[in-house]
């Protein structure tokens, strides 16, 4: 079709598509608690406290929406990542072997300039992510020289849950081809682009397995 035969719509859709211009930018520096201080809890205590706080969001209700279940699920995964980071940081601070290995690692000048001594090991993990068990093992080996020995069943279950996390973070819960391959095409080949639906029972099972 030539350009001369094309019709350009001039209809006004503002009444049904209300997208106002940005008038107030987000001041990110105001969104963090400046008065917060680490309370000295162990990494596992922090993890349990964070998980229990998430439980309060939904366990007492009769039903849970798909959206809230997804948010809670991502919260549990965030609690796991925070636990791993806190554990690595703690080992560097108290274990001579871990400290010796970490001494050879580089951090950014900004981190060295502004981090407190107790929190400085966090800067070592700025470029690390924990999207599956392999990343966690690589972090322990690379940063503190520890070869993690993990139960194979636990690893398999955690990696499955990590694939669900990927669907939620990147596809609003829908199953992508790569995720399906990781989870098993023989059981997921008819579920491409289908959304994840978590009810109370499913979320409770996932939360329990994460704690295990």
pTM reported for the whole predicted model: 0.86
Asked if residues 80 and 129 have their Cβ atoms less than 8 Å apart, the reply is no
pLDDT in tens, 65-85: 999 999 999 999 999 999 999
Separation between Cα atoms, residue 15 and residue 112, nearest integer Å: 51
What pLDDT shows up at residue 12? 67
Q: Is the pLDDT of residue 27 over 70?
A: yes
Q: Is the pLDDT of residue 5 over 70?
A: no
**Number of other residues whose CB lies within 10 A of the CB of residue 153:** 9
Q: Which has more confidence, 194 or 16?
A: 194
Give the start-to-end residue ranges of the domains of the chain.
41-211
Measured CA to CA in angstroms, residue 61 lies from 29, 50, 67, 73, 113 at distances of: 34, 19, 15, 16, 46
């Amino acid at each position: 079709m030539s350009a001369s035969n094309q019709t350009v719509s001039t209809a006004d859709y503002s009444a049904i598509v209300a997208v106002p211009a940005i008038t107030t930018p987000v001041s990110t520096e105001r969104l963090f608690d400046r008065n917060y201080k680490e309370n000295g809890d162990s990494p596992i205590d922090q993890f349990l406290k964070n998980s229990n706080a998430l439980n309060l969001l939904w366990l007492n209700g009769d039903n849970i929406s798909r959206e809230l279940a997804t948010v809670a699920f991502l919260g549990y995964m965030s609690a796991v990542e925070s636990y791993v980071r806190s554990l690595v940081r703690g080992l560097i601070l108290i274990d001579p072997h871990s400290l010796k290995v970490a001494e050879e690692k580089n951090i950014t000048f900004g981190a060295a300039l502004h981090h407190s001594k107790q929190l400085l090991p966090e800067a070592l993990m700025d470029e690390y992510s924990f999207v599956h068990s392999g990343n966690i093992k690589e972090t322990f080996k690379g940063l503190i020289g520890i070869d993690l020995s993990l139960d194979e069943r636990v690893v398999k279950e955690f990696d499955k849950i990590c694939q669900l996390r990927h669907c939620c973070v990147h596809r609003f819960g829908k199953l992508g081809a790569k995720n399906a391959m990781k989870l098993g095409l023989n059981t997921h080949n008819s579920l491409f682009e289908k959304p994840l639906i978590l009810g109370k029972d499913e979320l409770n099972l996932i939360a329990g397995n994460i704690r295990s």
